Chains A and B, each alone.
Chain A
Amino acid sequence: MNLEAFQNRVLPAKNKLFRFALRFLGNEEEAKDIVQEVFIRVWNGREQMADVQNWEAWCMRITRNLSLDRIRSLTRKQTQPIEESFNVQHEALTPHESTEAHESMQKITQFIAALPEKQRQIIHLRDVEGYSYNEICDILELDMNQVKVNLFRARNAVREKLTKINAYGL
């Protein structure tokens, strides 16, 4: 693989990798660092990886492994949700409604942050990034059954909490 192919085929995945790393680390600088390391590894190992079918999934897997290593080395148990960067502004909404929307967005951020690590990764890969089940299996090195079960649990945990908001306004 030459530099041009690298720039055209591998580099465009950077945002997905960044978001995935961010999901683990909760810190933009750290996540950026991880993405850079992933690309450098891919570039240095490009000869051996000529037969890799799905570059993106492969990069995502490296991102996951490096992020987990980083978390371990930082001895950080829980990643922090990034809340400040999400502004839900809707021009059509009244200030009251706008505040309400912002609040529920924050709640959802909390719900997702409260999910177990594996479920959080899977719901991110499926619902944010739109990966197929097969790709998720590839990235997380899990079998199809585990992926589906975890996604089911994650979605239903969130749903349950959403229903509670609806019912009691909690």
Chain B
Amino acid sequence: MDSNKIDELLNKYWNCETSLEEEQQLREYFRGEQIPEQWKETATLFRYFDTHKKKTLNDGAFDTALMKKINTPPPSKGKVVRIFYNTLRIAAGVSVLVVATFLVRNEIRESTPQEMVDTYDDPKLALEETKKALMMISKSFGTAEEKAKKINMFNEAQQQIQKNEEKRAL
């Protein structure tokens, strides 16, 4: 390749206008022996790229080690730990439910008026208790009536006295 062509390619190269093929041509040219003095350093640069490309990982040990790692499935990390975690998750879910139910029940109970809460489940027992309560009330009423009769007596007597006084005045 003549030096004009190389010069042109190099200019394109520095301006990042070369195609991959043209860069390959440059690489091949600078691999040669007879490089003019003006491009000696440039040639070193291209040789630097070449040398770097020669760096390889071509040891069989790498492939063998890799294949061994690929073929052995990754160790299942702590089955016990996983079961423990799952149990923990379920337990947490259940406890949240329990607490929620408890709170909701409390809330409902508080918002219901006390008198509406049933006290007895057995109707017979309820009847007995009702009777007892009514008896108590009627007994109290009886006592109250007796006292009221006494007051009534005083009242009548007072009225009698007033009538007598009025007659005398007439």
Contact = CB atoms under 8 A, between A and B. Distances in A.
B69 interface: yes
B55 A18 contact: yes
B49 interface: yes
A158 to B, nearest CB: 6
B51 A129 contact: no
A105 B48 contact: yes
Given A40-B69, A43-B70, A155-B16, A105 B44 contact: yes
B45 A128 contact: no
A130 B23 contact: yes
Nearest to A23: B52
A35 B20 CA distance: 26
A151 B47 contact: no
Interface of B: 13-16, 20, 23-24, 33, 38, 40-42, 44-45, 47-49, 51-53, 55-58, 62-63, 65-66, 69-71, 74
B66 A39 contact: yes
Interface range on chain A (Cβ under 8 Å from partner): 35 or more
B14 A19 contact: no
B63 A128 contact: no
Contacts of A129: 53
B128 to A, nearest CB: 76
Contacts of A158: 45
Interface string A32-76: 100110011001100000000000000000000000000000000
A9 B66 CA distance: 15
A162 interface: yes
B16 A151 contact: yes
Given A152-B15, A159-B14, 20 more contacts: A14-B57, A14-B62, A15-B55, A18-B57, A35-B57, A36-B69, A40-B70, A88-B47, A101-B44, A105-B44, A109-B48, A128-B53, A151-B16, A152-B16, A158-B45, A162-B41, A162-B42, A163-B41, A166-B40, A166-B41
A109 B66 CA distance: 31
A104 interface: yes
A149 to B, nearest CB: 9
A155 B44 contact: no
